[in-house]
Structure 1
Amino acid sequence: MPQMAPMSWVTLFLFFSFMLLMINMMNYYSFTPKFKLSDSKKTITKKINNWMW
């Protein structure tokens, strides 16, 4: 069985790298997060813990 030429390996590597990038970009841009903003919690509450050593 003949071995694969190195140029063919480079072509396969570039093809699969391109496909990986395209699939990741499509997944990233097709996801739309749904943020639920409540009107009752407009202020940010901060809890401060003072530790006495």
Structure 2
Amino acid sequence: MPQMAPISWLSLFLLFTLIFFLFNMMNYFTYLSPTPKSTSSDQIDTKSMTWKW
């Protein structure tokens, strides 16, 4: 049974690592997070504050 040369193991490792990183990047960048819907009741009520020292 023939043995694999070390350069073959290295190229196989690099190939699988590249595929792994590409798969993870595609999953990360294709995920669309739901955007929050803003309504008029959700707006922050801003009031001017007068400080009494």
- The normalised TM-score by structure 1 is 0.69
Which residue of structure 1 lines up, in the alignment, with residue 12 of structure 2? 12
Question: Which blocks of at least 5 consecutive residues in structure 1 are unaligned?
Answer: 44-53
Could you say which structure has the higher helix fraction? Answer: 2
- Give the CA deviation at 1:42: 3.5
Distance in 1, Cα, partners of 2:9 & 2:43: 57
Q: What stretches of structure 2 of length at least 5 have no aligned partner?
A: 45-53
The one-character-per-residue Cα deviations of 1:2-47 (angstroms, maximum 9, x if unpaired) are: 111100000000000000000001111100101223432334xxxx
Output the TM-score relative to the length of structure 2.
Answer: 0.69
Q: Secondary structure at the match of 2:37?
A: coil
- Hey, what's the Cα distance between the residues in 2 that align with 1:42 and 1:3? 68
1:1-53 aligned within 5 A? 1-39=1-39, 40-43=41-44
% same residue = 44
Hey, which bits of structure 1, 4+ residues long, moved more than 3 A?
A: none
How many residue pairs match? The answer is: 43
